[in-house]
Amino acid sequence: MLRLAIQKSGRLSEDSLTLIRECGINFISSSYKLKTEATNFPLEILFLRDDDIPGYVQDGVADLGIVGQNVLVEAGLPQLEVEALGFSKCRLSLAVPRADAYASIAALQGKNIATSYPNILGRYLAENGVQSNLHTISGSVEIAPSIGLAEAICDIVSSGSTLLGNGLREVETVFRSEAVLIAQPNLTAEQTELLEQLQFRMQAVRRAKR
Ligand code: ATP
Ligand code: ZN
């Protein structure tokens, strides 16, 4: 038996459920249940907040998970990734108020930056020789400059319209992300066999879409 953790409700949820179904795995999902069992594959599906998925898989509470690389790398657990899934593509970018001068990343030296990704951003700034003050907030990061909390932000961008709507412009791409399948480090031999079957089916689904 394998336990797979997916996001309960959010941007990853629908594509995660679709992928499992396209792998020929049948299950009944109802919006209020936190777990369900597949009827034709030894798989149990857990519905969790995406932020909790890497930790649960690392600890073996779940054997597998589907999560964004942004969340996985921020949690410091990139080694759990076993397969890139090709959906929920987005990027983590730095943005500044549209009217502000910005020639290069050196412009952020000594500035306050609001983000939900202090680890990924901290590493990026260090690699670029910039020292800034990071303010970690968990949501509504885009409003930080307009309320005087920060001079810049680092957040997830897909189309850019949220940035535009908040008077910001994207100046640097910090990290590119997509959804990935992750696995706990201590699968049994039988579980490894099941994981291989699952990956084989996932790869076939992706090939069929090309
Ligand atoms: P939860 O309540 O589970 O904590 P959340 O609000 O943190 O959810 P979502 O906004 O649902 O997360 O995003 C989940 C993941 O989807 C992100 O971590 C990222 O990998 C991806 N994602 C976020 N925004 C976009 C986007 N605009 N386009 C595509 N993928 C995105
Ligand atoms: Zn989350």
Convert the pLDDT of each residue in 1-49 to its tens digit: 999 999 999 999 999 999 999 999 999 987 778 999 999 999 999 999 9
Co-location of 99 and 56 in the same domain: no
Q: Provide the domain limits for residue 173.
A: 90-177
Co-location of 118 and 128 in the same domain: yes
- For residues 145 and 113, give the distance between their C-alpha atoms in angstroms, rounded to a whole number: 9
In terms of pLDDT, which residue wins out, 175 or 162?
175
Q: Number of structural domains, the chain? A: 2
Co-location of 151 and 196 in the same domain: no
- For residues 78 and 209, give the distance between their C-alpha atoms in angstroms, rounded to a whole number: 27
Co-location of 96 and 137 in the same domain: yes
Residue 159, pLDDT score: 76
Q: Which protein residues touch ligand 1 with a CB less than 6 Å away? A: 7, 10-12, 49-51, 68, 70-71, 88, 90, 156, 158, 177
The pLDDT of 152-168, averaged and rounded, is: 90
**65 has a pLDDT exceeding 80:** yes
Q: Which ligand is nearest to the CA of 140?
A: 1
Write down the pTM of the prediction.
Answer: 0.95
pLDDT cut 70: percent of the chain above it: 100
The pLDDT of 134-162, averaged and rounded, is: 92
**Residues 11, 22 contacting (CB under 8 angstroms):** no
pLDDT digits (tens, 9 = 90+) for 164-204: 999 999 999 999 999 999 999 999 999 999 999 999 999 99
In angstroms, what is the span from residue 5 Cα to ligand 2's centroid? 13
**Residues 141, 47 contacting (CB under 8 angstroms):** no
In angstroms, what is the span from residue 23 Cα to ligand 1's centroid? 23
Residue 14 tokens, joined: 């629908």
- For ligand 1, atom 6, name the residue with the nearest CA: 10
Co-location of 50 and 148 in the same domain: no
Co-location of 127 and 145 in the same domain: yes
Q: Which ligand is nearest to the CA of 9?
A: 1
Co-location of 104 and 59 in the same domain: no
**32 φ, ψ to 5°?**
-100, -10
Chain centroid to CA 110 = 28
Co-location of 189 and 123 in the same domain: no
> Which ligand 1 atom minimizes the distance to the CA of 69?
20
Co-location of 172 and 191 in the same domain: no
**39 φ, ψ to 5°?**
-95, -15
> Which ligand 1 atom minimizes the distance to the CA of 48?
3
**Residues 4, 46 contacting (CB under 8 angstroms):** yes
Co-location of 76 and 114 in the same domain: no
Co-location of 51 and 95 in the same domain: no
**158 has a pLDDT exceeding 80:** no
Query: Which of 90, 130, 81 has its CA nearest to residue 107?
Result: 130
**163 has a pLDDT exceeding 80:** yes
Average pLDDT, the chain: 96
**161 has a pLDDT exceeding 90:** no
CATH number of the domain at 125, please: 3.40.190.10
Co-location of 62 and 124 in the same domain: no
Model confidence band, residue 162 (pLDDT cutoffs 50, 70, 90): confident
Three state DSSP letters for 58-114: HCCCCCEEEEEHHHHHHCCCHHHEEEECCCCCEEEEEEEECCCCCCCHHHHCCCEEE
Least confident segment among 29-33, 80-84, 86-90, 99-103:
29-33
